[in-house]
Chains A and B, each alone.
Chain A
């Protein structure tokens, strides 16, 4: 399994330059709306033609500007799952599945029967797509693609039009249904949960360029690029001024950041995920010094939050909790600080907060800090 894509195209507000090669079976492309990710997929499928570049799948050249190769979509053998599934509204389920099939009537019927069984569509064969539920529509769309036996399947924002409840169910189904598919699947999404759940390899795209690519879990752990961190769901960012290899001044937050490990040379921003803050109580002030003193006893033994010890001087890695507003969500509570920082507390931990009252400070744990550029 290998795919190599190199597409260049002038778009209205920016230039699309996407170039990657991968042997992975599950590739995710993450990017905000209008960043060029759909255009990339459409170029692979042959629905759009890039200005320049080359697309190769399994050693088969689909597009090569220099060699003047540009296969029609009909010849590319690429399956495309559209956001709205694009089922043919006037055709029944079985006709939809058979739409792209070749061969004798018997062969087609046999193939349709197989697909109906595999995708649990029994009893729905004669229905029109308009009379199916969202989940059934997705299964028909996938059955239609699978019947065609494509080399690659492209998923274009497959869940973005669904409500939350359905989304989770359909994600699960889709992953299960694609399990025994041997070819490459590329999923494009603006939703970090979807790509995290689905892909082994991830490309993060911004303004038509790949900002970062690599193993999905690794990118979420250490996004390196600020835009990638933002797209993977990081909410809090501050510009930093490097003091030495273990100390930074986080200018937007007005605190000093200290680490035991060396801070990467390239660091110009620090990011911190809203769920990762550690609340600190009873951090009394030392006389005449505005910085709080770490009270190890008060922190220790608090099973809800791992106690951490600052790597260096008092006051480092601690954010004063200056509350601006609170938002209550079904499964978490969001605190918004005056410094523009979000702190999200999961439901299980809210009880602890109510018991002890709001903390005075939020601590940044070293292993959760994202050093970005």
Chain B
């Protein structure tokens, strides 16, 4: 017990904040991008749909290290895109917090996209037709009818996305590295201290992660539970 207290007193909390920040930013980006992509894919013709859907889902199926490999290929400053981003905008992706966000977003995005799409495809087409015949613009229909009606699916997609982004390890370690105070996330911290044989510190972080996970899921269920009154119990 004494040792745990000592660890907690001397603990560098930066991995917690880096992980939370990364998770939140990646979730926000995935949220809008995922819903947008879901809508686009739904509208696409059958052939296009299969291809785009495959590409968008790939990061979820591939090992994160493979995704990390592709991200490195793309964003390395020795590559055209990475070079362009740095020269034009001064953006550095590799070994930076931006890299953390990109890695987490790419890995977690498919969860948002797939859940949003599944939820939206369940919507009764008549609701959309009704909106149109009532003179509502397609944008208004989307945000006022489709998104709220698909709420439960989108909410669960958001939870999963946040959870996945929070725990991202493989792609992050390759793209952003593990720079303490900068790109060192909780999962990387745990891996590192375990390599050093420091199981106690690892355990402390594990407990922190579990607490965060519970709080997030609880909050989300609370929000979605109160918003989803229209859905019957069965």
Contact B149 A88 (CB under 8 A): yes
Contact B132 A47 (CB under 8 A): yes
Contact B134 A89 (CB under 8 A): no
* Least distance between A9 CB and chain B CB atoms (Å): 17
Contact A74 B129 (CB under 8 A): no
B4 within 8 A of A: no
Contact B133 A78 (CB under 8 A): yes
A46 within 8 A of B: yes
Interface range on chain A (Cβ under 8 Å from partner): 20 to 34
Select which of B132, B134, B232 is within 8 A of A72 by beta carbon.
Answer: B132
Interface residues of A in 278-336 (CB under 8 A from B): none
* CB closest residue in chain B, given A102: B135
**Bound: A86/B128 CA distance, A:** 9
**Bound: A102/B137 CA distance, A:** 11
Select which of B129, B149, B151 is within 8 A of A45 by beta carbon.
Answer: B129
A212 within 8 A of B: no
Interface residues of B in 106-133 (CB under 8 A from A): 124, 126-127, 129-133
* CB closest residue in chain B, given A77: B135
Select which of B127, B136, B229 is within 8 A of A86 by beta carbon.
Answer: B127
Contact A84 B232 (CB under 8 A): no
Number of A-B residue pairs with CB-CB distance less than 8 Å in the complex they form: 76
Contact B151 A90 (CB under 8 A): yes
Question: What is B's interface to A at a CB cutoff of 8 Å?
Answer: 124, 126-127, 129-137, 144-145, 148-149, 151, 227, 229-232
Contact A74 B137 (CB under 8 A): yes
Question: What is A's interface to B at a CB cutoff of 8 Å?
Answer: 42, 45-47, 72-80, 82-84, 86-91, 99-100, 102, 128-130, 144-145, 148
Select which of A45, A83, A99, A102 is within 8 A of B131 by beta carbon.
Answer: A99
The 6 nearest A-B residue pairs measured at CB: A100-B134, A86-B130, A90-B148, A73-B132, A86-B126, A80-B133
Contact B126 A84 (CB under 8 A): yes
**Bound: A138/B148 CA distance, A:** 22
* CB closest residue in chain B, given A76: B133
Contact B130 A89 (CB under 8 A): no
Given contacts A80-B129, A86-B124, A88-B145, 20 further A-B contacts (CB under 8 A): A42-B129, A46-B132, A47-B133, A73-B129, A77-B135, A78-B133, A80-B133, A82-B126, A86-B127, A87-B130, A88-B127, A88-B149, A90-B148, A91-B148, A99-B144, A102-B135, A130-B229, A130-B230, A130-B232, A144-B134
